[in-house]
Amino acid sequence: MSIKFTSKLSLVAYITCGDPDLATTREIALAAIDAGANVIELGVPFSDPLADGPVIQRASERALRHGTTLEQVLKLGTELRKKSQAGLIIFSYLNPIIRMGLAKFAAAAGQAGMDGALITDLPVEEAGDYLREMRKRSLATVFLAAPTSPDARLKQIAEASSGFVYAVSRTGVTGARNELPEDAQKLVQRLRKYTKLPIAVGFGISTAEQFAVVGEFAEAAVVGSAIVETIERNPGKEAESVAQFVKKLSVVSHQLSVTQ
């Protein structure tokens, strides 16, 4: 499989799997794809999500209370792949993958029809074994690039990344913000020196207006906390509510495609 960003500004949608339950996660993912999401990040719930703010922390806690595991997330990915050709990325902290084993994880991700993975707390300097296992199976390895990263490290991240590069819009944890920091555009400009891959900007994008701003300088925007919060606020109507939210962003993407 391969990740394709087809519109002027593609949407990468993050979902915490197992919140409120795996069956609902499946409905949410398919609804988001139907509403215009290009890539779904299937979040593996973790007990100590250091990079995440309170919204995704709460979602992880709810999912873990139901016993959601990496194996179940991969099974969910298999089900989604049978229904859709959208991009599917496993989004996880390193611990669950180490517990499964790098080789076993890469093999399972490939068999499930996943496009790749993003391990949020795996430094590129320590990723050699992971890269070897994923590349054996032509799976994308998405790495995070931060505004604080020096150019030498951005080059390293760009060279290790495949599929796309995830540009973190600001320092700190995930969570919706009122404004998009200037750091985001500067970081994308710096990354352009080292890669021709699409660049997706994430952390803090929660409105159609912010989504549109990202379209001025990047190929994709990652929306996570705003989607997870939509799920949290609409019990019993999760998939429908997420679809409505994603459609608002898809309208922006269409407008950008027409005008640019």
Q: 19, 21, 41, 232: which one is catalytic?
A: 41
Q: Is the Cβ–Cβ distance between 143 and 160 less than 8 Å?
A: yes
Residue whose pair of structure tokens reads 């390193």 in the numeric block: 94
Burial class (CB in 10 A: 0-12, 13-18, 19+), 144: buried
Residue 41 annotated to the active site: yes
Q: What is the dihedral of CA 232, 236, 240, 243, to 10 degrees?
A: 20
Q: 21, 27, 34, 52: which one is catalytic?
A: 52
User: Residue 39 and residue 41: Cα distance in Å, rounded?
Assistant: 7
What Rg value do the Cα atoms of the chain yield, rounded? 17
User: Residue 88 and residue 84: Cα distance in Å, rounded?
Assistant: 9
Q: Is the Cβ–Cβ distance between 161 and 142 less than 8 Å?
A: yes
Beta bridge partners of 199: 165
Q: Is the Cβ–Cβ distance between 29 and 15 less than 8 Å?
A: yes
Q: What is the dihedral of CA 127, 130, 136, 140, to 10 degrees?
A: -80
Which residues form the catalytic set? Answer: 41, 52
